[in-house]
């Protein structure tokens, strides 16, 4: 027969999880009726929109996608797989555009980056020019890092590499 100890530990863990989730959610919008998945009980459209807005991927999460695409783009250029490189630029641009919608305060910097920093990469891909691509990618990495520095995140220097994330 079990003594009381495992139950005590289990209760403690469960309690910590419940308190933790309440604490984590405390900074964002709290629905006034009940959880959004229950459409019968939860019909307030404003609540639904606010909850959906709060749970959109944040900058850090979208940037993880951008980081992965940056590394894939770099590898694609080295292997001269230009279709894959084109695809990565398109998907990276889409990720930046999504972030502009969910974080409007970043839109101006993102638009400037898309307009100025990506075209040299796109041109090198169109010309299937490996040397120009290498140069464009180096400038791109510098421009990524510049935005990190301007956003108070200078500890996130971007450098292409084999690891999952390009932060070195």
Binding positions for ligand HEC, rule: CB under 6 A: 58-60, 63-64, 66-67, 70, 106, 109-110, 113, 140, 144, 147-148, 151, 153, 156, 158, 165-167
The least distance separating ligand HEC from the CB of residue 18, rounded to whole angstroms, comes to: 27
Which lies closer to ligand HEC via its Cβ, residue 136 or residue 144? 144
Which lies closer to ligand HEC via its Cβ, residue 38 or residue 97? 97
| Alpha helices (H) in the chain, listed in sequence order | 5-25, 45-54, 59-78, 82-102, 107-116, 119-126, 130-150
Tokens 């305060």 locate to 105
Which lies closer to ligand HEC via its Cβ, residue 48 or residue 145? 145
The least distance separating ligand HEC from the CB of residue 141, rounded to whole angstroms, comes to: 7
The least distance separating ligand HEC from the CB of residue 98, rounded to whole angstroms, comes to: 13
Give SS3 for 148.
helix
Instruction: Write the CB contacts of 147 (distance below 8 Å, at least 6 apart in sequence).
Output: 109, 113
Which lies closer to ligand HEC via its Cβ, residue 82 or residue 144? 144
Q: For residue 152, is it left (φ>0), alpha (ψ between -120 and 50) or beta?
A: left
The least distance separating ligand HEC from the CB of residue 150, rounded to whole angstroms, comes to: 7
Which lies closer to ligand HEC via its Cβ, residue 46 or residue 142? 142
CA distance 113 to 95: 13
Q: What distance lies between CA 58 and its chain's CA centroid?
A: 6
């Amino acid at each position: 027969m079990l003594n009381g100890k495992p139950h005590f530990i289990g209760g403690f863990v469960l309690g910590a999880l419940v308190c933790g989730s309440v604490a984590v959610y405390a900074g964002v919008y709290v629905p006034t009726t009940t959880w959004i998945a229950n459409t019968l009980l939860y019909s307030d459209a404003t609540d639904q929109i606010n909850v959906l807005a709060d749970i959109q991927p944040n900058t850090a999460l979208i940037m993880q996608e951008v980081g992965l695409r940056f590394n894939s783009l770099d590898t694609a250029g080295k292997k001269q797989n230009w279709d894959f490189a084109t695809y990565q630029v398109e998907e990276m641009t889409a990720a930046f555009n999504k972030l502009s919608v969910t974080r409007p305060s970043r839109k101006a910097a993102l638009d400037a980056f898309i307009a100025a920093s990506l075209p040299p990469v796109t041109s090198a891909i169109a010309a299937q020019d490996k040397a120009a691509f290498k140069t464009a990618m180096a400038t791109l990495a510098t421009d990524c890092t510049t935005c990190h520095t301007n956003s108070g995140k200078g500890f996130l220097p971007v450098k292409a590499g084999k690891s999952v994330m390009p932060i070195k």
